[in-house]
Every structure is written in C-alpha cells, then in structure tokens.
Structure 1
Amino acid sequence: MSDQLEVPTMAEFMAAGKEPEILYWVGSAGSYDDRAKKITKAFVRILNRANVDFAVLGSEESNTGDVAKRAGNEFLFQMQAMMNIEVLNGYGIKRIVTCDPHSFNCIKNEYPGLGGNFDVVHHTQYIKELISEGRLNLEGNTYKGKRITFHDPCYLGRANNEYDAPRDVLRKTNANLIEMKRHKATALCCGAGGAQMFKEPEKGNMDINILRTQDALETKPDIIATGCPYCNTMMTDGVKFNEKEDKISVMDIAELIANT
C-alpha cells in the first residue's frame, strides 16, 4: 500500500517474535477492487492513527469461501475455509477485524464448525471500541451539518443483529443521521448478497440496488454511508443510475472517520 501507510504482515511479526493486537482481514474486495481499496487504506489510516499493533496476512490471505457457499458450492467453501483456518491457527490468531460483513459473518459463524474459532469484529465495532477507549480522537467537524443516511449491510444487521455500532460511530462525526424508512431489521438488501454481486439479475427481476438507492434518496442525503464494500458498489451504481453522483457521495464509515 502507498500513502506511507504502515501495514506489517503476520510473517514479519513472527520473525520479530511479537504478536499483534488484531489481525486485519482485508478480504477479496478490499484487496482487488479499486474502489474498495480506498476503504482498506482509510481503515489502515485509522489503525495507524490509533497506534494499533495490527498485522495482515498479505499473500497468505485467501478468499473466505463465502461466495462459493452462497452460490451452492459447499465443497469449494470447505476447501477454502480449511486452508484459511490452517493459516490462522498456525499463527495463533485470536482476534480478527474486517471491513467486509460477508467475511465477518463467514469467519464468525461458519468457520467454528471446521475448527476455526476466532473473536471476529466488524470494523465499525472496532472503531467504536477505539473511540470509547480514548485511543482514537475525532477532532474535526468535516461533516458537521451534513445529512447522512446509513444503509445496513445484511450480514452485519439481520444476520448478526449489529445495528448500533455503525450509527454510534457516525454520530461522532457531528453529522445529521437521517434514517431511511426501511432501516435496521426492516432494511432492504443492496442486491449483492448470495453471490449476486458477480452476475446480472435474473430475467424478470428488478435491480434491487436501484430500489434501495431510492430509499436512501428519499432522505435527501448529502452522503450515503455504507459498512460493506459490496454495498458501497451497489449504492454507488444506484446513485449513478439516478444521475445524482455530482450531488451525493457514497462513503464507507471508515472513510468518513479517517477524514474526521
């Protein structure tokens, strides 16, 4: 990574005889997608700012297998998962933080059945923790007075019942948090779940991301906040569909906090 970010690997920690506080699981989107890479860098800036002793797996990190499982290929999922679990257990990893709710849900809820038992935390939960402990101080008023609406990621919200952490963090920006009509447990999916991110909608089906973006636009936001790289892509496409990209930004919570 560039921008003079400090991103040590687990191999480097082991060579120095040290253990990190957390392992940052970057995820496939955060590693390869150009837009999601900006979220990755924003979160690393936060970790550096808070002096968090963290590490990444680097080239040793592989896809969690979530996409394969959602697409129905259980064999491929188990093969990918067990490969990752072997690496994680080999390093003695205990706590994992990720910006990807799909990875969060998969490692937290599905890896234990294959021998991978880890304390898995979503990045919004971890940012909230850093703020609560006084390790991360937000000094600016970059977003004061801005209207922000938050789109709940399915695998953070309905799948894992986490609705408060992202909102608690967003309130620290001094922005005006405006809820969509469908939010928290009644929030609509962005349309990327279940491996739908990587294919076109079936014939006769509407684009769910367009419908969800309309929910967001009804709040008259300056910014649509997301907590998932896939949601970010889908909401961005929805904003472009409505030709609002010059007026409305789609930003991950990590990006908002990194700029505050």
Structure 2
Amino acid sequence: MELRMSQDAETLDDWIYWTGCAANYDPRIAAVVKATTKVLRAGGLNVRFLGSEEACSGDAARRLGEEGLFQQLALQNIETLQRHRARRIVTHCAHCFHVMKNEYTRFGADFEVMHHAELISRLLEDGKIRLRGDADVQVTIHDSCYVGRYNGIFDAPRSVVKAVYGEKLVEMPRSRRDSFCCGAGGANYWYDVEKKKTPAGAQRVTEAVQSGAELVVAECPFCIKMLEQGAQISGADDKIRVKDIAEVVADALDVSDTDSHSKTESSAARSSHDGRENS
C-alpha cells in the first residue's frame, strides 16, 4: 500500500494520519497502520502522512516527568502540523490522541483530533464503507484508558464491533469506565514487572477468556502489545487473539465496494491529470 506524504490540506476530506512511534519499529503496529489506511481510504478520505517530519507526541516524556522535553516536542509537532495547514488529525494511538487533543491546546494547537475508532464509526454511520458483517466469532472489547476513561469514548468502538460481529459481542466484568488497564500506562510499557507478580496484561487476558471471547478488540498499540504478551504469559495464546479495531474492519470490508471506490479514485486522478495537461 502506498503511503503518500502530506501536501497542504485542500478539502474537508483531507486527514493527516498521525502514526505514532511504534509503527516505525514494530511490524505488529505497522500492520495496524496499513489496516487503518485501507479502511479510511475505502471511506473516501484523503489520508496523508508526515513521514520523517512526525516526531514523538511527547506523551511518555510528560508521564515520566520530563516536562521540558514534552513541551519541546509539542511545540515542534504543532509547528509541523501548522506548516502543513493540518485541520484534521486521526490516530490509532490512544496516547497520542489524548495528549494532542487535550494537552496541545495550551501551546497553540487549533486542529481537530480524532481517534480512529470514532472516525471509522462515523464512516459506517454515514454509509461510506460497507462490511460483510456478522463474523462468526465471540468477541470482547478492551477499553483503552486514554480512549474510554479519560475521553469518554465507549459507544463508537462498540458500534464498529457490532457492525462486524453482530450480537456476538460480550462484555468483560470490568468494562467501559471501569475497564482494567493493560499495564502500559504512565510509561510502564518500558519497565520490567517483578517476576513474582502477574502482569496486568495477563490478568486482563484471563478476564477476556473467562468471558467466553475468542478475540479481544483493542484501540491502542500499547494495549495490543501488552495483551498479546499477556496471552503468552498466561498460556492463553492458543485460546484468544488480539486485534486492533481497524484490523477487524479491514478484514470485513465489502471487496466489491472497495474495488468500486478504487476505480472512482483512479478515474478522478486521471481527470485531474488530464486537466493539468490541458491547462
């Protein structure tokens, strides 16, 4: 899949996709970027990337008390986004989403920031993407802290999951605002947990298995990594899988609808090219 670098935003369908740090070094999260891009473009959105101009959002720096580094990164990123005349930003990373939406504003940020679960839900609601739907898998949702508890986004992910899996969604005892953290928050992702303790990710996977789910849908790269690691630690990796919400949608896309949209895009691109040649 071609990942086009950003040009100046021209229409309301233009979105800067903030991919976050993990996608640059972790193939598992790079797969989430590909799935998200596939879904958003199937919905007719013009998705662009900053490439090497994208720096760390600074979330981990602030949580660890490196306030000076955080402010430096925030100002740098805001300047970059303003230079690209960005008006709308989407990201699959719950941490980037929270910090850019709620903490960049005091440094002059004036752009809209959406989590990809919200944007995908909107595309489904508006009929911009069609799914095969009703996949035969029992599924549960892990509410990421920075999507759910801190930003109150609970219904959008569930509407997306139900569009794919119908009534096969089961809730864990700790869900929505009472969801149990995967263990990565507060920059704990980079710490080694004491061996005698059961990691939070393993505890969470055990909850998911006990709910009867065969698949956990997550909304954050940190959650994905912690839950997949937790499945291995708890010996449940043969019982349950972990996917990002964009991955389940990408797998369920109506292929004929996607092909039709691709042809429309190609036709529009040819018309634009012919117009430039004739001008």
Q: TM-score, normalised by structure 1?
A: 0.91
SS in structure 1 opposite 2:216?
A: strand
Aligned residue runs from structure 1 range 3-42, under 5 A: 5-10=1-6, 13-14=7-8, 18=10, 21-42=14-35
Q: Which runs of 5+ in 2 are unaligned?
A: 253-279
CA distance in 1, matches of 2:39, 2:2: 11
Q: Which residue of 2 aligns with 1:170?
A: 161
Q: Which residue of 1 aligns with 2:230?
A: 238
> How far apart are residue 31 of structure 1 and its match?
2.7
> What amino acid maps onto 2:70 in structure 1?
F
Shift of 1:202: 5.7
The aligned amino acid for 1:159 is Y
CA shift digits 1:115-160 (9 cap, x unpaired): 112211000000011111111111254x2x3110100000001110
8 Å contact from structure 1 (residues 6, 48) kept in 2: no
Contact 2:139 2:165 in 1 (8 A): no
**Cα RMSD after superposing both structures:** 1.6
Deviates more, 1:198-207 or 1:107-116: 198-207
The partner residue of 1:60 within 50, 53, 61 is 53
Secondary structure of the structure 1 residue equivalent to 2:117: helix
* 1:111 paired residue number: 104
Pick the aligned partner of 1:130 from 123, 127, 131.
Answer: 123
Aligned identity (percent) is 37
Partner SS for 1:156: coil
Q: How does 1:212-223 map to 2 (within 5 A)?
A: 212-223=204-215
> Is 1:255 matched up with 2:247?
yes
Bigger Rg, which one: 2
Aligned to 2:227, the other structure's residue is in SS state: helix
Separation in 1 of the partners of 2:238 and 2:65? 39
1:87 partnered with 2:57: no
Amino acid at match of 1:259: D
CA distance in 2 between partners of 1:6 and 1:52 (Å): 14
Q: Does 2:187 match 1:187?
A: no
Distance 1:57 1:8 in 2: 9
Using the alignment, how far apart are the partners of 1:233 and 1:240 within structure 2?
11
The 3-state SS of whatever aligns with 1:80 is: helix
Deviation at 1:66, TM superposition (A): 0.3
Structure-2 separation of matches of 1:76 and 1:204: 34
Distance 2:56 2:222 in 1: 15
Q: Distance in 2 between matches of 1:18 and 1:96?
A: 14
- Are 2:172 and 2:208, in contact at CA under 8 Å, matched by a contact in 1? yes
Contact 1:149 1:180 in 2 (8 A): yes
Q: CA deviation at 1:75?
A: 0.5
CA distance, structure 2, for counterparts of residue 246 and residue 111 of structure 1: 41
Q: Is 1:78 the equivalent of 2:71?
A: yes
Distance in 2 between the 1:156 and 1:104 partners? 8
- Match of 2:143, as an amino acid? D
Report the 3-state secondary structure (helix = DSSP H, G, I; strand = E; otherwise coil) of the residue aligned with 2:185: coil
Q: Which deviates more, 48-57 or 58-67?
A: 48-57
Of the three residues 133, 138, 148, the one matched with 1:147 is 138
Q: Which moved more, 1:18-27 or 1:178-187?
A: 18-27
Report how many aligned residue pairs link the two structures.
250
Compute the TM-score of the two structures, normalised by the length of structure 2: 0.85
Q: Secondary structure at the match of 1:23?
A: strand
Amino acid at match of 2:72: M
Please say if residues 125 and 166 of structure 1, whose CA atoms lie closer than 8 Å, have aligned partners that are also in contact: yes
Shift of 1:206: 4.5
Q: Determine the structure 1 residue equivalent to 2:259.
A: none
Instruction: Give the one of 156, 181, 190 matched to 2:147.
Output: 156
Give the secondary structure class of the aligned counterpart of 1:174.
helix
Quote the offset at 1:196 in angstroms.
0.5
